[in-house]
């Protein structure tokens, strides 16, 4: 199945703020299949019929196919085939698989499968498949903007609120959020007694496909790639928006753009924006006001909803609206009466706004027009800092970032073409990595300590936790270390624990664990002659964060290698360690590749006999399919010691011979000094000989 058939936009046009547009366990380990138009095996029991499309269960970045499980012959199941560009929430699969299935569609099985693209006449790719039981009933709204039959208030408490609150309790107990509560992901269920069923939430990264109507103001202001998992408070808000849609009979603003929806929520509050003039009973108004409060500290919690469901009356809370300024601020043909709407407008017109941020006009307006001294002080401080840093376009960008944070502290971090919530920064980096402009925006934010500045402007507990700021300090340090194994790639894998390796060398292989990395490289090597370095920055960073214990010494040696042979040795050491600990035992194609890559190490031996032996051992290792044997063949410590010692002795002998040759060539043999020395030596020898003869003669005479 090709990326084109997914109807997913390429990352350069990644899901914009219109978000609604279109380790494995047990049987979900790495699996193989073959061919197209076939039954694709997922482990021993599950099979996916690639001919049987089930479009009613499609998700924006995952297509649905019929599935079956031989352990449960009567089970009606479907599988979502996910993409590498927008991978599933792999770390959430196992915890959510244990949920009660009554009012949620939890994952039943998962793992990688060989999936044929197009007609199947050609290459297959590895996709990640997640299998679900088919939910009962019909989807509430096939399209998030379509009109639906209004639901009576008296049915909502028992059919929607109670079962969904129970589901959210289960999510919260596992430290997870749903982040896909909306009308086009809710099913009517089998009966009124059962209640409605909440659809799956794991086929794409958290928050990516949620319609903006169901997002809080700060989350809606972020790009879809920058929303992240959020908190339970985000799910409660989405539940409130869902109830409003069900009561009203559809999306209250189906034609509005994302910017218009957010602006409306800021101006009148989410409750008024979503419900408008809809008349509600006091009993239903109470929870809806509580769930749709824009201040997360005041928003109802799951415990508040429990109390309401049990009959306890709580006073309806009033929406907090931003203070209006005494004077209108005019910008780009628009009028703004409060800092929050002004910040929202500035973020939509970045370049003119960046010029404005360093002009001093915003500080004057805040000082003369706002009654909020705290915020006015923040804006003035941001303006003072902006004046100091505003040198060139990058300085203006930083100045505007500071000003936006001061004008609207809860809003996401907005930098040029990218907006992201702070807790979603790692996921944002992963999703935009292949988009140079947006990837650079994330790097600039980290290097310039914008997350830390955002934290200082907040009043909640997140800002008080030093571990939060330390994480971003650490990420900035990684970016500053440009050697292989660090940089943005290290940030990507260190802080996205379930993310697949996105190295171009294993593209299409969906590598989600170390045990899958070498088989992926093996398949790549088997497709044709493999040349060049067998790893890249992504693979090294992936291994640095996934291996236990981390191969820090090898990666450090690799980064500091001053010559090519040392670098090759370090790479072979790293891959050999992976094979030794994670298998498989034989990798014929990859070993042939690594063997040729290692040959210059064997050729570098000085002693001909040792070199010949190393070549022989290397050839045997290549035949064995073992990277460990390749390493042993070319990196034998004893052979290296003998070779170096012999070479050092040969160098000394050679140097002595060179000196003697030079001396002879310079006439040293016939020089006066040498002749005199030789003459003196000869005279001394003759004198000694004569003395010896005389002494012997005298001795004989005396004896006679």
| Rounded (10°) angle between helices 552-560 and 564-582 | 160
10 Å CB burial of residue 658 (0-12, 13-18, 19+) is exposed
Span 202-245, pLDDT tens digits: 999 999 999 999 999 999 999 999 999 999 999 999 999 999 99
List b or e across 54-81, with b for residues whose CB sees 16 or more CB atoms inside 10 angstroms: beebbbbbbbbbbbbbeeeeeeebbbbb
Tens of pLDDT along 495-536?
Answer: 999 999 999 999 999 999 999 999 999 999 998 777 889 999
Residue-wise pLDDT tens digits, 126-145? 999 999 999 989 999 999 88
Closest CA to 239 of 204, 190, 274: 274
Using 50 as the pLDDT threshold, list the residues of the chain that sit under it: 1-36, 119-121
Contacts of 422 (CB under 8 A, 6+ apart): 412, 413, 451, 454, 455, 462, 468
Best CA proximity match to 211, nearest among 33, 20, 363, 399: 20
> In the numeric block, which tokens belong to residue 693?
């003869």
Alpha-carbon distance of 570 to 158, in angstroms, equals 62
For 151, the token pair is 């639901």
Q: Is the dihedral of CA 217, 218, 223, 224 positive or negative?
A: negative
Report d(CA 113, CA 444) in Å as an integer: 38
DSSP 329: E
CB half-sphere exposure, 692, CA atoms < 13 A = 6
Could you list the beta-strand ranges (E) of 83-199.
Answer: 107-116, 124-133, 186-187, 197-198
Cα separation of 468 and 487, whole Å?
20
Question: Two tokens at 356?
Answer: 């404005």
Q: Give the pTM.
A: 0.86
pLDDT at 555: 95
How far apart are alpha carbons 48 and 214 in whole angstroms? 33
Q: Which single residue is written with the structure tokens 């042993």?
A: 632
Listed in sequence order, the residues at least 6 apart from 326 whose beta carbon sits closer than 8 Å to its beta carbon are 368, 369, 370, 371
Token pair recorded at residue 64: 């649905």
pLDDT in tens, 84-97: 999 999 999 999 99
> Helix axis angle, 162-173 relative to 232-248, nearest 10°?
160
Three-point CA angle 113, 116, 117, nearest 5°: 125
What pLDDT, on the 0 to 100 scale, is given for residue 11? 39
């Amino acid at each position: 199945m090709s990326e084109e058939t997914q109807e997913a936009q390429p990352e350069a046009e990644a899901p914009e703020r219109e978000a609604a547009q279109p380790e494995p366990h047990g049987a979900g380990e790495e699996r193989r299949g073959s061919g197209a138009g076939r039954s694709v095996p997922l482990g021993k029991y599950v099979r996916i019929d690639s001919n049987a499309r089930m479009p009613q269960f499609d998700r924006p970045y995952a297509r649905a196919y019929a599935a079956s499980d031989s352990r449960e012959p009567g089970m009606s199941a479907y599988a979502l085939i996910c993409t590498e560009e927008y991978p599933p929430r792999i770390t959430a699969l196992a915890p959510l698989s244990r949920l009660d299935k009554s009012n949620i569609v939890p994952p039943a099985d998962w793992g990688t499968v060989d999936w044929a693209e197009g007609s199947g006449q050609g290459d297959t790719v590895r996709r990640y498949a997640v299998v679900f039981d088919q939910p009962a009933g019909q989807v509430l709204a096939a399209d998030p903007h379509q009109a639906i039959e209004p639901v009576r208030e008296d049915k909502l408490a028992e059919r929607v609120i109670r079962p969904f609150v129970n589901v959210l309790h289960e999510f919260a107990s596992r430290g997870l959020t749903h982040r896909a509560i909306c009308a086009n992901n809710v099913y009517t269920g089998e009966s009124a007694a059962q209640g409605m069923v909440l659809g799956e939430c794991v086929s794409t990264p958290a928050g990516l496909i949620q319609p903006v109507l169901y997002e809080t103001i700060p989350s809606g202001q972020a790009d879809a790639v920058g929303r992240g998992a959020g908190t339970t408070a985000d799910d409660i808000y989405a539940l409130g928006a869902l109830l409003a849609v069900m009561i009203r009979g559809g999306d209250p603003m189906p034609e509005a753009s994302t910017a218009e929806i957010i602006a409306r929520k800021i101006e009148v509050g989410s409750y008024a924006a979503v419900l408008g003039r809809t008349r509600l009973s006091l009993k239903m108004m109470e929870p809806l006001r509580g769930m749709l409060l824009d201040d997360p500290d005041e928003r109802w919690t799951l415990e508040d909803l429990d109390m309401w469901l049990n009959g306890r009356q709580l006073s309806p809370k009033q929406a907090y609206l931003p203070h209006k300024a005494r004077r209108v601020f005019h910008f780009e043909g628009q009028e703004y009466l409060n800092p929050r709407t002004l910040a929202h407008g500035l973020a939509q017109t970045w370049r003119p706004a960046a010029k404005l941020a360093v002009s001093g006009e915003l500080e004057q307006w805040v000082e003369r027009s706002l009654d909020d001294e705290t915020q006015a002080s923040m804006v003035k401080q941001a303006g003072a800092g902006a004046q100091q840093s505003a040198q060139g376009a990058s300085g203006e960008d930083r100045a505007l970032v500071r000003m936006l944070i001061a004008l609207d502290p809860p809003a996401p971090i907005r930098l040029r073409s990218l907006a992201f919530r702070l807790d979603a920064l790692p996921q944002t980096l992963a999703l935009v990595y292949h988009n140079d402009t947006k990837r650079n925006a994330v790097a600039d934010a980290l290097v310039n300590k914008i997350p830390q500045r955002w934290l200082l402007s907040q009043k909640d507990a997140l800002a008080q936790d030093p571990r939060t700021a330390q994480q971003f300090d650490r990420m900035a340090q990684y970016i500053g270390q440009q050697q292989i194994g660090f940089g943005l790639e290290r940030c990507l894998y260190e802080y996205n624990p379930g993310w697949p390796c996105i190295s171009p060398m294993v593209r299409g292989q969906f590598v989600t664990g170390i045990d899958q990395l070498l088989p992926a490289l093996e398949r790549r090597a088997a497709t044709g002659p493999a040349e060049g370095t067998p790893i890249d920055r992504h693979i090294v960073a992936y291994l640095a964060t996934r291996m236990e214990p981390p191969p820090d010494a090898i990666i450090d040696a690799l980064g500091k290698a001053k010559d090519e042979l040392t670098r090759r040795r370090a790479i072979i050491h790293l891959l050999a360690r992976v094979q030794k600990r994670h298998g498989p035992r034989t990798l014929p194609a990859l070993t042939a590749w690594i063997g040729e890559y290692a040959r210059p190490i064997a050729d570098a031996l000085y002693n001909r006999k040792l070199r010949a032996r190393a070549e022989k051992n290397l050839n045997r290792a290549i035949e064995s399919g073992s990277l460990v044997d390749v390493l042993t063949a070319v990196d034998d410590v004893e052979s290296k010691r003998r070779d170096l010692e012999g070479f050092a002795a040969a160098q000394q002998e050679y140097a002595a011979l060179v000196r003697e040759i030079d001396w002879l060539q310079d006439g040293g043999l016939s020089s006066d000094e040498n002749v005199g020395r030789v003459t003196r030596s000869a005279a001394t020898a003759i004198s000694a000989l004569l003395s010896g003869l005389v002494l012997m003669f005298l001795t004989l005479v005396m004896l006679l």
